[in-house]
């Protein structure tokens, strides 16, 4: 997952690679998939209703099929959505709350804290299996039994 993110993350993009690890683990456990009970797609579970705005803002051509068949596009649509929100909202927390839909669903604000905790752990410690395990648990404790399946970020 790290190599996929690194290949798609560019200088000046919002957030960090470590933040994306947290978002992608919490949302899908690094699976490029459709939401189980909804319409969101990709590693970051971007709602297709947002594609038109992202496409217009970034001169892109995202759609559900592209996200389904391209892991790179799945990573990049999340980055582009965060970049678009960053151009419209003030402050890092506001951008992440916008991404998480915390205004519409206040309980989603907890997700933002989890993503930020994951990011901090990965950035402040040696990048080893203990750190990765700790960071993924911070991103989403309910996925802790799946962590043993993650061999290579």
Query: How many CA atoms, within 13 angstroms, populate the side-chain half-sphere of residue 147?
Result: 20
Per-residue pLDDT of 49-97, as tens digits, reads 999 999 999 999 999 999 999 999 999 999 999 999 999 999 999 999 9
Q: Are 116 and 99 a contacting pair, CB within 8 Å?
A: no
Per-residue pLDDT of 113-146, as tens digits, reads 999 999 999 999 998 999 999 999 999 988 877 8
Structure tokens at 10: 């560019």
Which pLDDT score, from 0 to 100, does residue 141 have? Answer: 85
């Amino acid at each position: 997952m790290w190599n996929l993110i690194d290949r798609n993350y560019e200088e000046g993009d919002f957030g960090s690679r470590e933040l994306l690890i947290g978002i992608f683990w919490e949302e899908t456990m690094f699976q490029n998939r459709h939401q189980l009970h909804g319409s969101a797609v990709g590693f970051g579970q971007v709602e297709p209703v947002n594609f038109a705005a992202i496409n217009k803002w970034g001169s892109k051509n995202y759609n559900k099929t592209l996200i389904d068949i391209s892991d790179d596009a799945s990573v990049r649509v999340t980055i582009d959505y965060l970049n678009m929100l960053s151009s419209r909202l003030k402050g890092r927390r506001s951008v992440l709350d916008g991404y998480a839909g915390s205004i519409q669903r206040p309980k989603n604000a907890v997700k933002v804290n989890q993503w930020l905790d994951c990011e901090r752990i990965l950035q402040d410690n040696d990048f080893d299996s203990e750190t990765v395990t700790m960071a993924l648990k911070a991103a989403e404790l309910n996925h802790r039994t799946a962590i043993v399946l993650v061999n290579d970020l």
